[in-house]
Amino acid sequence: MRRVLSVASECVPLLKTGGLADVVGALPKALKEHGWGMRVLLPAYPGLIQKLTKPVVVWKDADLFGGKAQILSGQVEGLDMLLLDAPHLYDRAGGPYSGPGGDYPDNPERFAALSWAAKEIAAEGLSDGWRPEIVHCHDWQAGFAPAFMRYAGIEDVKSIVTVHNIAFQGNAPVDRLQALKLPPSGFTSDELEYWGNLSSLKAGLVMADAITTVSPTYANELMRGEYGLGLEGVIQKRANDLHGILNGVDTEIWSPETDPHIENFSAKALADKAKNRAALIKEFKLGPVPGPLAVVISRLTTQKGLDLIPSLLTEFTWRGGGLIVLGSGDPQIEMALLHEADLNPTRIGMRIGYDDPLSHRLFAGGDAVLVPSRFEPCGLTQMYGLRYGTIPVVAATGGLNDTVIDANPAAVAAGVATGVVFHPTDGLAFAQGLRRLITLYEDKKAWRQLQRNGMKAELDWGRSSAAYADLYESLAP
In the complex with ligand GLC, the residue whose CB is nearer, 164 or 277, is 164
When asked if residue 15 is in the footprint of ligand GLC (CB under 6 A), the reply is no
User: Is 364 in contact with 259 (CB distance < 8 Å)?
Assistant: yes
Closer residue to ligand ADP, CB minimum distance, 86 or 391: 391
Q: How far apart are CA 246 and CA 164, in angstroms?
A: 11
If one asks whether residue 110 binds ligand GLC (CB under 6 A), the answer comes out as no
Compare residues 208 and 371 and give the one whose CB is closer to ligand ADP: 371
**Binding mask of the shown chain, residues 246 to 265, with x at each position contacting ligand GLC by CB under 6 A:** -x------------------
Q: At what angle do helices 356-365 and 273-283 cross, to 10 degrees?
A: 120
| Smaller CB separation from ligand ADP, 199 or 381 | 381
Strands 53-61 and 69-76: antiparallel
Q: Does 23 bind ligand GLC (CB under 6 A)?
A: yes
- How many chain residues touch ligand GLC (CB under 6 A)? 13
Choose among ligand ADP, ligand GLC, none what residue 356 binds, the Cβ cut-off being 5 to 8 Å by kind.
ligand ADP
Which range touches ligand GLC (CB under 6 A), out of 66-74, 345-353, 373-381, 440-448?
A: 373-381
From 285-293, 352-360, 370-378, 460-468, span contacting ligand GLC (CB under 6 A): 370-378
Q: Which one, 27 or 69, has the nearer CB to ligand GLC?
A: 27
Measured between its terminal Cα atoms, the distance across the chain in Å is 14
Distance separating alpha carbons of residues 477 and 472, to the nearest angstrom:
8
CB 370 within 8 A of CB 309: yes
Mark residues 404-443: x for contact with ligand GLC by CB under 6 A, - for none.
----------------------------------------
Q: Where are the beta strands (DSSP E) in 67-106?
A: 69-76, 79-85, 98-99, 102-103
d(CA 86, CA 395) in angstroms, rounded, equals 41
Closer by beta carbon to ligand ADP, 198 or else 280: 280
379 touching ligand GLC, by CB under 6 A: yes
Binding of ligand GLC by 165 (CB under 6 A): yes
Kindly tell me the sign of the dihedral angle through the C-alpha atoms of 169, 152, 112, 244: positive
Which residue number has the CB closest to ligand ADP? 19
Between CA 199 and CA 230 the distance in angstroms is 11
β-strands 197-199, 210-213 pairing = unpaired
Q: Which of 4, 7, 11, 19 binds ligand GLC (CB under 6 A)?
A: 19
Beta bridge partners of 39: 5, 80
What is the distance of C-alpha 381 from the center of its chain?
Answer: 10
Burial class (CB in 10 A: 0-12, 13-18, 19+), 173: exposed
Q: Residue 396 interacts with ligand GLC (CB under 6 A)?
A: no
Give the residues lining the site for ligand GLC (CB under 6 A).
Answer: 18-20, 23, 164-165, 214, 247, 376-380
